[in-house]
Amino acid sequence: MTALQHPEVPPQSAKIVISGGFGVGKTTLVDTISEITPVRTEANMTAASIGHDDRQHLPDKNKTTVALDFGRVTIDETLRLYLFGTPGQDRFGFMWDYLVNGALGAVILADTRRLSDCYPAIDYYESRRIPFIVAINQFEGSPQHRLDQVRMALNIPGRIPVVRFDARDRDVSKEVLIELLSLLLR
Amino acid sequence: MSDKYPDGYATQGRRSEDNKSPDDSGAGLLRPYIITGGRTEAANSDLSIESVIQTKDGFAGLGFEKRAIAKHCAEPKSIGEIAAHLKVPLGVAVVLVSDMLAEGLVIAHKRASANDTGLIERLIEGIRAI
Ligand SMILES: Nc1nc2c(ncn2[C@@H]2O[C@H](COP(=O)(O)OP(=O)(O)OP(=O)(O)O)[C@@H](O)[C@H]2O)c(=O)[nH]1
Ligand SMILES: [Mg+2]
């Protein structure tokens, strides 16, 4: 085997997570950006409630299976970006700590027809001080609110970017990721 | 009017940080543990879905799954890709790779840090270029 195939260390990896409510475009965004067909990985985990005596004797503690969206962008030979859609359903919330661990930041997708669907994601990243931006996906019949009005409804500070985009458009979706990364440099 | 919420927002606006129920604090969140092959063990805390793995020394004499992982990771692959390729749940891939790391069969790279300005800039340039 050549040296190229066996570098001293495998490429470094960075992760950005994509969150938001049901059907808001998470899979579409991963698909639009990823160089590989998004992998649909199953996460089969058992949440054991260590340190919580009241829950320790439940028969089958939250054993569940969920499909995850997972995409890849090769930046160069030594750096890769992985995109990863968090499962939208509330009942998978317990997995988020594991899945989000180590992420550079999050893109929270929102649909103005049902803005409240993204509140749990905003609460989650805000409370853990994980950098995030909000990207508004425009659907058929979505009200065209001004971004400052959306920001007010979401109750997030001015330093957090709120952008409009289309998850089906590659260039616009790239800009959304760049917006998040730029936030990390501020 | 700029001081008015759009229709329906005023009553639905997100609660502010200090207006949350104690259950939202995260302190009571369930921690995920992994089960595989009858064994229960915590996931290797250094391995996440995006951890990139590469085979060190070929794959002679390995069992079925580990040989599959060793072959797949001749070119570097993430845990997520390994799980998808083997068609096993993420937790199973984590445990198998944890074993292989302990046995010195594969190597893993540390994840990127958000504090690494140069790295963030490389990511931005890289995304622009695709
Ligand atoms: N108009 C419009 N449609 C979109 C956009 N993004 C996604 N869609 C469509 O919305 C539907 C749902 O998108 P998905 O990407 O599956 O949403 P999701 O968040 O992964 O959904 P769940 O995984 O089920 O929660 C699909 O039919 C997409 O084609 C967008 O930016 N604009
Ligand atoms: Mg989806």
The torsion angle over the Cα atoms of residues A155, A160, A165 and A171, rounded to 10 degrees, is -170
| pLDDT above 90 (res B37) | no
- B16 versus A41: the higher-pLDDT residue is A41
In the sheet with B31-36, reading across from the earlier edge strand, the strands are A162-165, A132-137, A105-111, A12-20, A79-85, A64-76, A39-48, B31-36, B39-41
Structure tokens belonging to residue A150: 């959306």
Q: What is the pLDDT of residues B41-55, one digit of tens each?
A: 444 557 888 999 999
> Ligand 1 centroid vs A24 CA: distance in angstroms?
5
pLDDT band at B105 (very low <50, low <70, confident <90, very high): very high
Which residues neighbour A132 within 8 Å (Cβ) at sequence distance 6 or greater? A105, A106, A107, A108, A121, A122, A125, A126, A160, A180
Flag the least confident range among A112-116, A150-154, B78-82, B84-88.
B84-88
By percentage, how much of chain B surpasses pLDDT 90? 36
pLDDT in tens, A20-29: 988 899 999 9
- Is a pLDDT exceeding 90 seen at residue B114? no
Residue with more model confidence, B115 or A2:
B115
Does residue B20 have a pLDDT over 70? no
Residue with the larger pLDDT of the pair A136 and B23: A136
| Residue to test with chain B: of A41, A52, A54, A144, most B Cβ within 10 A | A41
Q: State the pLDDT at residue A141.
A: 85
The per-residue pLDDT for A59 is: 41
Query: Which of the four pLDDT bands, split at 50, 70 and 90, describes residue A65?
Result: low
What integer is the mean pLDDT of B101-112?
86
Chain B residues within an 8 Å CB radius of A149: 5-6, 9
**Which residues make up the environment of ion ligand 2, defined by Cβ < 5 Å?**
A 26-27
pLDDT at B36: 37
* Nearest residue in chain A measured CA to CA from B74: A5
Flag whether pLDDT at A184 surpasses 60: yes
- What band does A1 get if pLDDT is binned at 50, 70 and 90? very low
Q: What's the Cα-to-Cα distance from B83 to each of A9, A45, A71, A155, rounded to whole Å?
A: 21, 13, 13, 38
Report the pLDDT value the prediction gives residue A95, as an integer from 0 to 100: 74
Is the ipTM beyond the 0.90 threshold? no
Lowest mean pLDDT segment, chosen from A137-146, A151-160, A177-186: A137-146
Supply the pLDDT for residue A9.
62
Which pLDDT value is given to residue A88? 64
Average pLDDT over residues B55-76: 89
pLDDT at B16 over 60: no
In this prediction, residues B55-84 reach a mean pLDDT of 89
CB contact under 8 A, A152 and B75: no
At the topology level, CATH places domain A12-185 in: Rossmann fold (3.40.50)
Angle among Cα A162, A168, A170 to the nearest 5 degrees reads: 80
Q: Do B76 and A101 touch (CB under 8 A)?
A: no
Nearest CA in chain A to B94: A43
Domains in chain A: boundaries: 12-185
For the cut 90, the answer to whether the pLDDT of residue A96 exceeds it is no
| Mean of pLDDT over chain B | 72
Lowest mean pLDDT among A64-68, A72-76, B100-104: A64-68
Give the pLDDT confidence score for residue B118 in this predicted structure: 93
Q: Which of residues 77-96 of B touch A (CB under 8 A)?
A: 78, 80-81, 83-84, 88-92
Instruction: Give me the pLDDT at residue A114, please.
Output: 92
